[in-house]
Structure 1
Amino acid sequence: MFCFVVHAEESAPENLNWVKNDAPPFYIIRSDGQQGFGDQLQTLIEGALDNYRHNTLHVPLSRLSSSWKSYDPLCFATMIHEAPLSDDYLLSVPNAMYLPHGIITTNAFAESLSVQDDGSVSLESVISEQKTSMGHISGRTYGEKLDDILRRYRHNIEINTRAGSTETKGILTMLSQGRFDFVIDYEFVLNHYAGSDEDADQLRFLPIAETRGSFILGAVGCTNSSEGKKAIQAINKALPDIVKSRSYRRAVAAWLVPVGGEAYYWNKFDDVLKKYLGLPVRPHTTARLPLAGSE
């Protein structure tokens, strides 16, 4: 008598598309294999979602809004955690914490600005008291507070928009050449550029007074569809273990933590991000945000 054992056929993994743009140090597209923060974060999430077959597309930020439905399900690992700008995508729980944007400008333009005692400048004062020109990566937002200031004084700013490849490096190079007065970005973006471009010593970072001492949360965005919702649910389930992993902390320490402000950053990290994810919080050390330009 023969006995036949029937094995249930394993279901094939589902496809999940990811998008990257050329925006170091979030995503570093070059041949030496160095990974930016977003590259490493995406790799960690992919490793936790082994029921998916992961594909990566290289799409300029200016084309992201038109890509959500075209590549459904599509995810982007480094979005700002705020109310979505459209119904095309959904956001995960927070996955990262960034110190706030500042003004990156030339040394010459910085000398014309009124700098406060803590080293910051008021964005509203800069753009309301004079006609200015600003470099902007197409599709980029800066959080509700700064976006609102920029909208209110739009008539006083000449916007120079850059789209396509090499978005971040290109716009900082244009700034160093005096094509406009300033851009808004993170300090670690300038730090990375300073290590790779000889003209970077012409630029400096000034914290913005309106957001000084605050923070920006990052999240994964995925297509607002049934498949995108399923991906967000899986990502939300995986994020607590990812955020407490050594690999994640190494990536954060390498890119997001300011030199001299380590204790301040990790205290904020515990207060905000870990509580979102239900993770235990370490005892605090006394720390403050260092003054702009301090070691």
Structure 2
Amino acid sequence: MFEWLRQRAGVAYERLLEREISGAPTHVAVIQDGNRRYATQRGGDAHDGYHAGARTTERVLDWCKEMGVEELTLYAFSTENFDRPKDQREVLFDLLEDKLYEFADDDRVHDGGVCIRAIGDVDRLPGRVREAIDYAERRTADYDEFTLNVALAYGGRNELLGAAREVARAVEDGDLDIEDVDVAEIEDRIYDRPVRDVDLIIRTGGDERTSNFLPWHANGNEAAVFFCTPYWPEFSKVDFLRAVRTYESREESWRRTRAERALALVRALGGAELAEARAIIERFRGTLPEDPSVEELEVESDGTSVE
């Protein structure tokens, strides 16, 4: 009886969250933590935890598609994972190989136009995993409705270091002028194909850290971060919806801050700057807290109001 009530309450809460959410982030990145702890808690081994986590990954793909997310990045194997015991690494490599082939041949992937690609130092991976990556990328290369990035042999610091070294060599060889080094130049040297800025990072398993994950695309975009205690195999749709709600709350706060700054600019400036400031106010109108000064503020420099 108690379990039935718990399930009913969970379904009701899920529906409530769905009604509360008005949009979705474009790019979600997930740190899938807790597979081994999940297995240990249930008397199993790492193999059981990783396979249970793989099933969660499939569900999250479906939820992303339902919500309108356009890009998902999964932190599947970090550079630090190479330090794990060989038997644990082999279990992960087996699973990665199997899932890459499985996803590449899945009708849902092809029907949904999902482009699969690996990011990271994949040359460090065993040949059989690299062959699976090549197969998945070739099979889905022409799709553009949804992008699934699988971070393998990935480390954010190494990623940025490699891009910096490439830029330095190009400048030294005379192929690149130092004045031409900009954001686009760095991004071109991080990945062969562009990755969208990250809007939301989700980490399961209880740890509150982002573990060197996508620093250029997440930190530079001030991505929202959602930490939750369930292990990855336990991650539910309610958890996912709560994460999206966190993103929406952060976006609303960001828009409010921008609007308040624009209002301060209108109060402080006049003349040539007024038109630009007024345009910003109009863009963010409705996100400000109720403030009569928004409607009544007059700029003495030309005698016109904000309206």
Query: Fold conserved (TM > 0.5)?
Result: no
The structure number with the bigger radius of gyration is 2
Higher relative contact order (CA 8 A, sep 6+): 1
Higher share of residues assigned strand = 1
Higher share of residues assigned helix = 2
